[in-house]
Structure 1
Amino acid sequence: MNQAVREFNTMHSDFHLQSILVIDDDVELTEMLSTYLTSMGYNVIVKNDGEAGLSEATSGKHYDLILLDVMMPKIDGFDVLKKLRVSHTTPVLMLTARGDDYDRILGLEIGADDYLPKPFNHRELVARIKAIVRRHNLSASGGAIEQDLLVNGIFLSPSSQMAKVDDVELVLTTTEFLILRLLMLNVANRVTKEEISLKVLGKPLQAFDRSIDMHVSNLRKKISAVTVGEKIKTIRGVGYMLIVGK
């Protein structure tokens, strides 16, 4: 454990995480995670069923990240995430069964920021936490001198974390916000999935990984709900492009 802590502290030096909510009915696993993360100075709260987890997540307390299991009593992880996303954009890392692509895709469709198959290595968990929190902090900070963006009826303000389409505000997850920002910064130019994965998700694109596709699909749905006309074009086999208005 001491070696693991030293490794984490080295990786942890460039961001500051305060509080993690773990929602999982595996008591042995949650006790291990709580001990591991608490030993590194984090405030870890554990709830062992979906109902209690949702109540805690929406209680008004601030959490930098939620680790959310899929299969749980009372309310499963999917329903917890659906209800959470109605009013909260707290970053969520879903814990899914290894090899269950359906769970992963559905989690991303509902609004998870990323997923991690069980059983997982502690180094992989730390890497995912680091990447999610880093991009959430980037979105929250907005950049000291970054300018507001306006392209084809889409307005994005990094400093206030606001995105609007035709003056209607969008409720975006951190991942969706940063993908939109990247597309707007490269308007009329194709942005590859590899670039999105590295710059937004903080990890190399893996073969058969549909994370980017699902995040962009969610972003499109939210945009199309308030306006007409295509805004994001798919470059088949390559990536995406934000279209310049006519």
Structure 2
Amino acid sequence: MIIKILASGSKGNCIYLESSGVGILVDAGIARTKIERRLIDEGIRPDRIAAIFITHAHGDHIKGLPLANKYRIPVWASEGEWKGISGVDDDLRQVMETRFGVYEPVQLGRISIYPFGVHHDAYEPVGYAIEPDEGDRVSVVFDTGKVDKGMLALMEGSIYIIEANHDPDMVEASDYPTIVQSRILSDLGHLSNQQTAEALQKLIQGRGERIYLTHLSSKNNMPALAEMTVKAALKQRGFIAGTHYTLEVVSE
């Protein structure tokens, strides 16, 4: 699986994934022109993108959706999140279906995309497990206030692209209004470094897994702190970075 994190953080999020010649975007949270430029810089043609998958309809995840109209790229989102998305041509709008409360997978060539519910203050936010017929599976979890057992089950055995948004002490010491602090720290907010570390403790088996820590707050976190917190938690299980797993902190 080819992974290119084009943007990550409070200012916008966008990931390119490719397997078996099929390329997709997860979120498009920076300006269209920036997405185009960063794709081209990576040697990727924007008109070859098969689909865009949206986690939720906050601006830092959908700002660049005019890309879809320009290149006629189908956009997938949950029925709830379409309430917060405008400007995508009707023929490109794709709704993820559910059956008995479980999202139906989306098949694109030899890649299966499995949406799953997460916990955030949006209409119907999701994460994604992306599974090619051959090669590495990838799970993407951006904004969520907690990680539950159902999420862990769908994330298991993959490359982990997961948010490590904040340090709670930094949030509480920030100049954010109390209501904003409470939102960030709630079960419908964002994952702290420690919450992410605890989830990875349950997921990592020391088999060379790849971890990408993403969506770091520019005001309430530091890359070194996020890295240290996760490494310390995994060391408790006897796992050492570079030996049992690889870790990259993405803070651009």
Query: TM-score range with shorter-chain normalisation?
Result: 0.3 to 0.5
Structure with greater Cα Rg: 1
TM-score (norm 2): 0.33
TM-score (norm 1): 0.33
Flag the structure with higher helix content.
Answer: 1
Flag the structure with higher strand content.
Answer: 2
